[in-house]
Amino acid sequence: MSTFPKNFLWGGATAANQLEGGYNLDGKGLSTADMVKFVPKNISKGKNTEVVSYQTVNEILHGLHKNEYYPKREGSHFYEHYKEDIALMAEMGFKCFRMSISWPRIYPTGEEKVPNEEGLKFYDNVFNELLKYNIEPLVTLSHYETPLNLALKYNGWQSRELIDLFIKYAKTCLTRYKDKVKYWIAFNEINMSLNVPYSGAAIFIEKTCNPNSATFQALHHQFVASALVKKISKKINPNFKIGSMVGMSLFYPYTNSPKDVLLTQNANRINYFFFDVLSKGIYPSYAKKYFRKNKINIKIEYDDLEIINKNTVDFNSFSYYYSNCTGEKINKKDKILAFLPEQKRYDEFHPEKIRNNSLEITDWGFQIDPIGLRIAINEIWDRYRKPIFITENGLGTYDILTSDKKIHDDYRIKYLKEHIDQIGKCIDEGIPVIGYTSWGCIDIVSAGTSERSKRYGYIYVDADDYGQGTWKRYKKDSFYWYKKVIESNGNVL
Ligand code: BG6
């Protein structure tokens, strides 16, 4: 008998800005993601952990250069290929497909009174196609993008106006698709705003890595918006299931010194802070202390806290790719500079990341740690006691398309197998994990580096970092492997 429940939601995950393309078709407005250009670099080859290709916020908002290439405008041409792509997912036996709706496809500037019917129709078509194969859509309303106009005019989520504008958009989607979509997430990896200024929930703040009031003010607006999505959703369809989505950056102590253990506990609170607000409905006391210590002042309006408290999520979801270590005494060469260059110092919300030498790392410096996924699931279950959905996990790496059009990605199969095995162990212990959507089930543009050569998929898309290629789809070895996993409901890994 399978460890995995009969109705387990096996599938894959994507995001509109990395997958769709068609950035200016059928009335779509520009999104912040459309402004992220491709920056060629050499460092990702050869296990380098530094990422240097980030544009400044100012460049993203104002830097339209004729000769630059903007990969997220093209994605993987899903806009034209969605039928073929969904048929391939169905062939693998997908039960669930996580995708996002592009806000500016529905409200091009974010401020229109009436939504863009062409945009709404596109998602009707996508959902119809999924439902034709009994694939359950899981929809993120905001996955690393915001209408560009709102970023420019309001400084994005720093302004309270964004709450109403987002809720107008959310209401449109929840109402239109109420009989087609049951599972919803308001914001992808809501915690990433602390690390990546433009992709992290599209909060536009220069040097967001500093603990500043603007960052947390913007986050507060997103917390209120998340709770309001939950509130209005139940009126539209009481069967809706609304989830949190946090990027789990799990920390281990670098040494067994109590100080390192304490630092680690603090570091892991970065994740728990977000779950505490979204799933428990409270601002935890350690966050309040952090705000006091760092002179962070957030404007909280009269009933914000009550809204947050009364409208918590139905399930918790998170992405998991790797674990890190943190500690007091750091050997310089073991430091991982994972995000922006200014993120150099330690504080509770920005811990130092140290290489764990017992783990292998990917070409992009992600430390491979399947047991970490089990630890993360255990932690989230023990703390929040709500069903858990693993909404992202996977191996981003180079793939080779052979002359006979095959992709022998045994490395990916190994990574996924070991992670799924750990999920099985959690379920075996009685933890209600309800689904697993591995990241980038079809190759898409990288969120972090805008590369296309960092591939996660079971389905290969023949296009390079500059969009050169046939765009044909090819099944990787992992495609056939995952099909068997789903067919056997996780019995055959
Ligand atoms: C998650 C994001 O952080 O990680 C995805 O939700 C992203 O959008 C994924 O693509 C993998 O990161 P990257 O940078 O390899 O694309």
Whether pLDDT at 202 is above 60: no
Whether pLDDT at 49 is above 60: no
Q: Which residues of 233-271 are buried (b: 16+ CB within 10 A; e: fewer)?
A: beebbeebbbbbbbbbbbbbbbeeeeebeebbebbbbbb
Quote the CA–CA distance of 427 and 91 in Å, as a whole number: 26
User: Which domains can be identified in the chain, with CATH numbers?
Assistant: 9-487 (3.20.20.80)
Indicate which atom in ligand 1 lies nearest the CA of residue 454: 15
Indicate which atom in ligand 1 lies nearest the CA of residue 449: 14
Average pLDDT for 471-487 = 98
Ligand 1 binding pocket mutation candidate from 43, 439, 455 (most atoms within 8 A of CB): 439
Confidence of residue 196 (pLDDT cuts 50, 70, 90): low
What confidence tens digit (pLDDT) does each residue in 419-468 have? 999 999 999 999 999 999 999 999 999 988 889 999 999 999 999 999 99
In 3D, which of 353, 435, 399, 416 has the Cα closest to residue 138?
435
Question: Ligand 1, atom 15: nearest CA belongs to which residue?
Answer: 446
Phi-psi region of 450 (alpha: psi -120 to 50; beta: other; left: phi over 0): left
Alpha carbons within 13 angstroms on the beta-carbon side of residue 482 total 32
Whether pLDDT at 35 is above 50: yes
Residue 477, Cβ density class (10 Å: 0-12 exposed, 13-18 middle, ≥19 buried):
middle
Residue 197: per-residue pLDDT: 53
Indicate which atom in ligand 1 lies nearest the CA of residue 364: 15
The pair of structure tokens assigned to 416 is 């996924």
Q: Which residue has the tokens 């491979």?
A: 368
Total-model pTM:
0.94
In 3D, which of 296, 315, 285, 160 has the Cα closest to residue 223?
160
Ligand 1 mean position to 285 CA, how many Å?
30
Q: What are phi and psi of 11, to 5 degrees?
A: 180, -150
SS3 455: strand
Ligand 1 mean position to 301 CA, how many Å?
33
Residue 342: per-residue pLDDT: 42
Average pLDDT for 283-298 = 90
Question: Ligand 1, atom 4: nearest CA belongs to which residue?
Answer: 447
User: C-alpha angle 464/404/476, rounded to 5°?
Assistant: 60
Confidence of residue 65 (pLDDT cuts 50, 70, 90): low
Ligand 1 mean position to 448 CA, how many Å?
6
Confidence of residue 56 (pLDDT cuts 50, 70, 90): low
Most confident of 270-274, 293-297, 422-426: 422-426
Quote the CA–CA distance of 241 and 9 in Å, as a whole number: 14
Alpha-helical segments (H) within 93-160: 103-106, 117-132, 148-154
Q: Pick 349 or 18 by higher pLDDT.
A: 18
Q: What are phi and psi of 311, to 5 degrees?
A: -130, 65
The pair of structure tokens assigned to 405 is 């059009």
Q: Which helix (H) or strand (E) holds 291?
A: helix 285-293
* Lowest-confidence region among 157-161, 199-203, 241-245: 199-203
Ligand 1 mean position to 19 CA, how many Å?
12
What is the greatest pairwise CA distance in the chain? Answer: 64
Ligand 1 mean position to 18 CA, how many Å?
9
The fraction of the chain above a pLDDT of 90, given in percent, is: 71
Among all residues, which ones are annotated catalytic?
Answer: 392
Residue 66: per-residue pLDDT: 60
Q: Tabulate helix, strand, coil % of the chain (nearest 5).
A: 40, 15, 45
Quote the CA–CA distance of 104 and 34 in Å, as a whole number: 11
Ligand 1 binding pocket mutation candidate from 38, 319, 456 (most atoms within 8 A of CB): 319
Whether pLDDT at 41 is above 60: no
The fraction of the chain above a pLDDT of 70, given in percent, is: 86
Q: Pick 65 or 45 by higher pLDDT.
A: 65
Residue 36: per-residue pLDDT: 82
In 3D, which of 352, 211, 196 has the Cα closest to residue 291?
211
| Binding pocket residue ranges, ligand 1, CB within 6 Å | 15, 18, 144, 188-189, 247, 319, 392, 396, 439, 446-449, 454
Residue 353: per-residue pLDDT: 79
Judge whether 95 and 135 are in contact, CB under 8 Å: yes
In 3D, which of 38, 34, 144, 54 has the Cα closest to residue 463?
38
Ligand 1 binding pocket mutation candidate from 54, 144, 198, 392 (most atoms within 8 A of CB): 392
Ligand 1 binding pocket mutation candidate from 14, 246, 446 (most atoms within 8 A of CB): 446
Quote the CA–CA distance of 390 and 388 in Å, as a whole number: 7
Quote the CA–CA distance of 253 and 224 in Å, as a whole number: 33
Indicate which atom in ligand 1 lies nearest the CA of residue 439: 9
Indicate which atom in ligand 1 lies nearest the CA of residue 247: 3
Residue 294: per-residue pLDDT: 84
Question: Ligand 1, atom 5: nearest CA belongs to which residue?
Answer: 447
Quote the CA–CA distance of 460 and 406 in Å, as a whole number: 9
What confidence tens digit (pLDDT) does each residue in 333-344 have? 666 544 444 444
CA distances from 287 to 182, 206, 214, 216, 270 (A): 32, 22, 15, 10, 9
Ligand 1 mean position to 199 CA, how many Å?
10
Confidence of residue 153 (pLDDT cuts 50, 70, 90): confident
Residue 363: per-residue pLDDT: 85
What confidence tens digit (pLDDT) does each residue in 354-413 have? 888 899 988 888 899 999 999 999 999 999 999 999 999 999 999 999 999 999 999 999
Residue 40: per-residue pLDDT: 64
CA distances from 295 to 103, 203, 288, 352, 381 (A): 33, 20, 10, 22, 33
